Amino acid sequence: MDINGGVLMQRYELGKLLGHGNFAKVYHGRNLETGMSVAIKVIDKKKIMKVGMMNHIKREISVMRLIKHPNVVQLHEVMASKTKIYFVLEYVKGGELFDKVAKGKLKEDVVKKYFQQLISAISFCHSRGVYHRDLKPENLLLDDEGNLKVSDFGLSALAETKRQDGLLHTSCGTPAYVAPEIIVQQGYDGAKADIWSCGVVLFVLLAGFLPFHDSNLMEMYRKIARAEFRFPKSFPTEAKTLVAKILDPNPMTRITVATILEHSWFKTGLVSQPRELEMETTATEQLVSGDSGNQFDLVESTQVFEKAFNLNAFDIISMSRGLNLSGFFNDNNEDDNELRLMLKQPVTDIILRLEELAKSMNLKVAKNNGEMVKMENCVLAIDFQIFEIMPNIHLIEVKRLGGDRLKFRDILNKSIKPTLLDII
């Protein structure tokens, strides 16, 4: 049955589709008892279980239950059926802040209001041990009164996920907004990384463009690592000092939230507001969090894959060391046991060519999920993993699992590379 226009759990009337992603769709909804408008995020359980994201969803629920703040999109309740998970969220109908800044820079007083509300929300999140890790205008919504609401805690981390060194180690976020310590694969302080992203947001709102931008991704990362950016002439003088202190590439000397709150530009016109909303945990939230075992309980066994087959820029960086990607996509790798290549081919063509190659060399073939191939015989074993960088652009990682090293290099140069056409 099409969910659009239906009734969910006899509690919510579902209306028009507001947006969708790879694993979820968001609908406008109406509480049948109170008439209140809500946004209902419908997540396909089969899809998230297939890619091992159930713990990811449960963490997002835990995080949102911790954050009850007027400048954070509120999670009212969570429900689940055998096939779907439903997040019932505050309905924020003003759209994304991105839509406003896409038309050009904003007025200073408007920017100041948004930034004050952003820092208020982030300060509260950090006080609860929550780090957003993907702050950008697309994740900042506006209500019908023009107040900012932080949304999308899908990449957030809890303080309990830190390692013994007290730092986070997972690379994530959106490249242009991410802190330099994340790019260079250091352990990082989640609060300081969030502050950097807030600084990029502030620059964008006042300037109308990104401080760090380049058509070459690695060149952009170098600019971020060195904090190489220029203020436009129209940039407010007092705000320059604040942005410069936030966009400090050294997290140890970067300004803190407490110091931002005392900065003269920030304090001017600051309106105090309650730091926390009084909201009760609903029965359905308790069910989903695992406090009760029934048909709505999300705690269930699921296969978690060791490696995702869809890569973003941060996955690529995590496979390298720091910003040094020299030789990463070619055959100059110092390790004789592996090779990485970029291919401009559909994955089906790549696998077909590998199968034909194995047949010509009398090698047995084993496939897993259609994106990992293993070839072997009595003297050699080779593993191929294929990662999607973007549509029809793939990274293929070739590894020698066993057998003669010289034979492996000979097959690489004389058979594998000639077979895989369109190497970038």
For residues 225 and 206, give the distance between their C-alpha atoms in angstroms, rounded to a whole number. 22
Question: Across the chain, which distance is largest between two alpha carbons, in Å?
Answer: 76
Least confident stretch, 42-46, 75-79, 398-402: 398-402
Looking at residue 131, its pLDDT comes to 86
Mean pLDDT along residues 174-193: 82
- CATH number for the domain whose boundaries are 326-419: 3.30.310.80
State the pLDDT confidence band at 384, using cuts at 50, 70 and 90: confident
User: Is 290 a residue whose pLDDT tops 50?
Assistant: no
Q: Is the pLDDT of residue 322 over 50?
A: no
Greater pLDDT, 61 or 322: 61
Q: Which of 43-47, 203-207, 324-328 has the weakest average pLDDT?
A: 324-328
State the Cα–Cα distance between residues 254 and 314, nearest whole angstrom: 23
Q: Does 323 score more than 70 pLDDT?
A: no
Q: Stretch 330-347: mean pLDDT, rounded?
A: 66
Catalytic, 331? Answer no
Return the pLDDT at 202.
97
| Mean pLDDT on 350-367 | 81
Report whether pLDDT(272) > 70: no
Q: Which range (55-64, 172-181, 239-248, 328-337) has the least confidence? A: 328-337
Residue-wise pLDDT for 201-252, tens only, equals 999 999 999 999 888 888 888 899 999 999 999 999 999 999 999 999 999 9
* Residue % of the chain over a pLDDT of 70: 74
Please state, in angstroms and rounded to a whole number, the distance separating the CA atoms of residues 377 and 332.
26
pLDDT (average), residues 256-273 = 88
| φ, ψ for residue 24, nearest 5 deg | -150, 155
pLDDT recorded at residue 391: 63
Length of the chain in residues, anyone?
Answer: 424
125-146 pLDDT, tens digit each: 888 888 888 899 988 999 999 9
Residue 2: the pLDDT is: 42
Catalytic residue, candidates 2, 44, 109, 134: 134
Choosing among 1.10.10.350, 3.40.50.10860, 3.40.30.10, 3.30.200.20, the CATH entry for 7-91 is 3.30.200.20
pTM above 0.75, yes or no: no
Mean pLDDT score, 86-103 = 90
Q: What's the mean per-residue pLDDT of the chain?
A: 77
The answer to whether the 7-91 and 97-267 domains have the same CATH topology is no
Radius of gyration of the chain from its Cα atoms, rounded to whole angstroms: 25
The per-residue pLDDT for 170 is 46
pLDDT digits (tens, 9 = 90+) for 296-318: 334 332 222 223 344 444 444 44
Confidence (pLDDT) at 133: 80
- 97-267, what's its fold? Transferase(Phosphotransferase); domain 1 (1.10.510)
In the predicted structure, residue 253 carries a pLDDT above the cut 80: yes
Quick one: average pLDDT of 281-300?
Answer: 37
Q: Is 41 annotated as a binding residue?
A: yes
**Banded model confidence at residue 392, pLDDT cuts 50, 70, 90:** low
Domain ranges, ordered by start, for the chain:
7-91, 97-267, 326-419
